[in-house]
């Protein structure tokens, strides 16, 4: 079966606002210029997500507007050392893990310098431009532009050495430490800051591609996001190589053959992925987190929003070890541990669903019955010191892994996927909270030892997850739920300790689903093509292809999935996840 139909750049097409989107600096400058009244005092505020290229903004937009006064908000920011001292407790000395920040952006600015900038604005006349992260702290703007940037693009700029963290000259610092500072501090603080700004912004500026910006009016943006909450949609997947990565995705998804491998695909992680909005000839890329922040209730549903706030709690991603190596042997923190040590609300419970598996593929899951926990920890410590290899055969269960198997992994369970597997990982979304216990003696792609967090891991391993318990509770617990003409539904998990429910539907004819007031996330795990439509014609029919993950917002209600196109005549299957009530 040919799977290169996988859409790597899914878009949401928006009708009726084509004249409210602009491409390129010239058109953007003209659109903004049209709002500036000649001869009158007008303050244009261009607030920015950290990482937006200020030099390009100055040269390509602000210079064209010929302002009487231009102020970069950075002039009022605290010094690098002051920021470091303020954030030391959140940054920690750890290379990977920090503590989630509850700071507000104004804490990162000097009150006297803000006041000085405000006086300059008050005393000036004509066109005044204030720009940069935190610009609206100086003036709310008679015209407000918000310049946004996707988190994946921020990470590429980190990796290239183009930029360090906001307020820090650390372009050459370890990439894991820069990512940590962004994840635990910058993105939290700036998401809090930008949410009320996006609600009233006159324009959103897409700055993801150098010298190729796009802009959309605030009205058009909100129309597009509201439309997204009433229809199926996909976020933009991104792919990344890794030391253990495989070759399956490279072939099936038509990826860059020059890359050594692809380890990960983040196919539905709204906190990290982008959303593409198409307005005629103009495509706007925004962080999909913007949709979560601005319209959480119709997207997530009342109960999910009440429980998680403006956070998308379900994550689908791919782990490819076909032609690759074992994942790191790891464990995720218990809920109380992640709350007390890192300030997160909930932990990373997860599961492995096997999209594909080579003969002999295995999943490592739980400890063997009767082992001595301290002996295993001592063995792991010896392995970390380089004295020996970890004796996994002595301490850890291995289960055969076959296509369409499902392994449940509540937090506290030691686990990893072995080589030769294509895993659809269905999990909660805390994202980076993996405590590596053993990494098979490997270096990372950067040539540095991969971090092992045995001290954290030793405190959260649930030693009751032994051979018998894991077999009885976590391996292939399929339960028939319902069936009809041309379809059947099976419960596949997750474990009772996990808040995500999963169901598999096999179908050769249309099958009707319902969100029941909560967001649904699905992946087409078997079959080449399917159609998602509304029995009430409430949204445009939506085509999905093999292995694509798609989101059904809570507000959609009833929807139907049918074999379609090249999938007609096949027996297809979806995996569906939602938050248990």
For the chain, 581 residues long, give each residue's pLDDT as a single digit of tens.
Answer: 344 589 999 999 999 999 999 999 999 999 999 999 777 899 999 999 999 999 999 999 999 999 999 999 999 999 999 999 999 999 999 888 999 999 999 999 999 999 999 999 999 999 999 999 999 999 999 999 999 999 999 999 999 999 999 999 999 999 999 999 999 999 999 999 999 999 999 999 999 999 999 999 999 999 999 999 999 999 999 999 999 999 999 999 999 999 999 999 999 998 899 999 999 999 999 999 999 999 999 999 999 999 999 999 999 999 999 999 999 999 999 889 888 888 777 778 899 999 999 999 999 999 999 999 999 999 999 999 889 999 999 999 999 999 999 999 999 999 999 999 999 999 987 666 789 999 998 877 777 777 789 999 999 999 999 999 999 999 999 999 999 999 999 999 888 888 999 999 999 999 999 999 999 999 999 999 999 999 999 999 999 999 999 999 999 999 999 999 999 999 999 999 999 98
> Which one-letter DSSP state was computed for residue 401?
-
Using alpha carbons, select from 155, 109, 150, 112 the residue that is nearest to residue 132.
Answer: 109
The SS3 of residue 41 is coil
For residue 421, what are its two tokens? 């597997």
Angle at the Cα of 62 from the Cα atoms of 35 and 283, rounded to 5 degrees: 70
Which residues are CB-contacts of 472 (< 8 A; sequence separation ≥ 6)? Answer: none
Helices within 138-234 (DSSP H only) = 151-160, 175-181, 187-200, 218-228
The SS3 of residue 261 is coil
For residue 64, what are its two tokens? 């064209």
Burial of 141 (0-12, 13-18, 19+ CB in 10 A): buried
pTM of the full structure: 0.95
What are the structural domains, with CATH classification, of the chain? 12-228 (3.40.50.300), 479-579 (2.60.120.10)
The edge-to-edge listing of strands for the beta sheet with 21-23 is: 21-23, 214-217, 203-206, 143-148, 42-48, 127-132, 69-72
């Amino acid at each position: 079966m040919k799977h290169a139909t996988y859409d790597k750049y899914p878009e949401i097409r928006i009708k009726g606002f084509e004249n409210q989107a602009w491409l390129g600096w010239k058109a953007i400058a003209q659109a903004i210029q049209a709002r500036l009244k000649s001869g009158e005092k007008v303050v244009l505020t261009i607030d920015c997500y950290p990482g937006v290229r200020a030099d390009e903004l100055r040269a390509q937009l602000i210079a064209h507007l010929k302002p009487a006064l231009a102020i970069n908000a950075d002039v009022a920011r605290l010094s690098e050392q002051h920021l470091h001292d303020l954030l030391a407790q959140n940054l920690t000395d750890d290379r990977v893990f920090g503590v989630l920040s509850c700071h507000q952006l104004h804490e990162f600015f000097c009150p006297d310098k803000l006041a000085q900038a405000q006086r300059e604005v008050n005393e000036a006349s004509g066109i005044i431009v204030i720009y940069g992260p935190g610009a609206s702290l100086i003036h709310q703007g008679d015209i407000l532009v918000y310049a946004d940037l996707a988190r994946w693009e921020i990470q590429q700029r980190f990796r290239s050495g183009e930029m360090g963290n906001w307020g820090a000259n650390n372009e050459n610092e370890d990439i894991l430490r820069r990512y940590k500072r962004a994840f635990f501090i910058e993105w939290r603080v700036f998401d809090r800051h930008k949410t009320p700004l996006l609600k009233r912004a006159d324009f959103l500026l897409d700055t993801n591609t150098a010298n190729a910006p796009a802009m959309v009016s605030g009205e058009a943006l909100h129309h597009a996001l509201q439309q997204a909450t009433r229809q199926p949609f996909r976020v933009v997947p991104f792919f990344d190589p890794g030391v253990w990565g495989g070759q399956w995705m490279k072939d099936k998804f038509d990826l860059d053959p020059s890359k050594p491998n692809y380890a990960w695909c983040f196919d539905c992680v709204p906190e990290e992925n982008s959303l593409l909005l198409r307005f005629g000839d103009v495509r706007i890329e925004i962080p999909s987190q913007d949709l979560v922040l601005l319209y959480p209730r119709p997207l997530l549903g009342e109960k999910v929003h009440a429980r998680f706030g403006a956070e998308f709690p379900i994550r689908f991603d791919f782990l490819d070890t076909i032609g690759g190596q074992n994942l790191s042997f790891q464990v995720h923190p218990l809920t109380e541990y992640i709350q007390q040590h890192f300030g997160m609300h909930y932990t990373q419970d997860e599961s492995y669903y096997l999209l594909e598996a080579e003969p002999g593929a295995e999943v490592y899951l739980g400890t063997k019955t009767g082992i001595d926990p301290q002996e295993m920890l001592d063995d792991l410590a010896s392995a970390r010191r380089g004295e020996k290899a970890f004796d996994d055969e002595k301490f850890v269960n291995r289960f055969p892994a076959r296509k369409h198997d499902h392994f449940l992994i509540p937090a506290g369970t030691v686990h990893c996927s072995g080589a030769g597997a294509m895993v659809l990982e269905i999990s909660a979304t805390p994202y980076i909270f993996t405590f590596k216990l053993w990494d098979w003696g490997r270096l990372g792609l950067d040539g540095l030892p991969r971090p092992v967090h045995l001290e954290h891991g030793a405190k959260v391993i649930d030693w009751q997850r032994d051979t018998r318990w894991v077999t009885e509770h976590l391996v292939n617990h399929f339960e028939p739920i319902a069936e009809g003409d041309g379809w059947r539904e099976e419960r596949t998990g997750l474990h009772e300790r996990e808040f995500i429910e999963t169901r598999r539907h096999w179908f050769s004819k249309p099958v009707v689903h319902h969100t029941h007031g909560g967001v649904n996330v699905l992946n087409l795990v078997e079959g080449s093509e399917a159609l998602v439509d509304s029995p009430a014609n409430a949204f445009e029919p939506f085509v999905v292809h093999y292995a694509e993950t798609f989101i059904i917002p809570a507000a959609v209600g009833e929807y139907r999935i049918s074999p379609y196109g090249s999938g007609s005549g096949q027996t297809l299957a979806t995996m569906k996840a939602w938050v248990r009530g």
